[in-house]
Structure 1
C-alpha cells in the first residue's frame, strides 16, 4: 500500500540540497527540519502518491525526516574528524 519505488529515494538528497540552498540564501538554520518536512510532504503529494493523500503525507514525512537525518549524520562525521 505505501510503496516507495527505488527512484523515489532520490528525493532525499534533493530535499537536502534544496534546504541547503535555502540556508545559503539566508534562511535561519533552526528552520531546516521544518522546511525538510514541508518539502518531503510536498514531494510525497506531487510525486510519490498524488492519488492518495494519506499515503503521500506518510511517505513525505519519512522523506523529510530522512533528509534531516542524512544532514545530521554527515555533519557529525565531519565535526568528529
Structure 2
C-alpha cells in the first residue's frame, strides 16, 4: 500500500502544476483520472477491479488534500 500513498502525493503535485495551465475547477477530475491510471498501472493488484478501486482511493484522497490546501491557502 506504500505505492498508493506515493501516487497520492504525486497526483496532488500534478494537480497543483495543472492549476497553472487549466481552470482550477477541473483539477479534481484530473486527479481522479490520474488516480485511476496510477492504480491500474502502478499499484500491484490481483485484478483490474482492484486496481481501479485503488486508483479511485488515491485520486479521491488527492482531491481531498487539494481541497484542504485550497481552503488553507485562501
Task: Give the Cα separation in 2 of the matches to 1:63 and 1:72.
Answer: 14
Question: Could you list the per-position Cα deviations for residues 40-81 of structure 1 after superposition, in whole angstroms to 9, with x for gaps in the alignment?
Answer: 0000011113652100111101100000101111222333xx
1:20 counterpart residue number:
16
* Residues 40 and 61, structure 1, Cα contact 8 Å, conserved in 2: yes
* Residues 49 and 55, structure 1, Cα contact 8 Å, conserved in 2: no
Runs of 4 or more consecutive aligned structure 1 residues displaced over 6 Å after TM superposition: none
**Which stretches in structure 2 are left out of the alignment for 5+ residues?**
none
* Residues 4 and 39, structure 2, Cα contact 8 Å, conserved in 1: no
Between 1 and 2, higher relative CO (CA 8 Å, sep ≥ 6) is seen in 2
Q: CA RMSD in A?
A: 1.5
Task: Give the Cα separation in 1 of the matches to 2:17 and 2:46.
Answer: 29
Q: Which is greater in Rg?
A: 1
Query: SS in structure 2 opposite 1:48?
Result: coil
Which TM-score applies when normalising by structure 1?
A: 0.79
Does 2:7 match 1:11?
Answer: yes
Aligned pair count?
A: 74
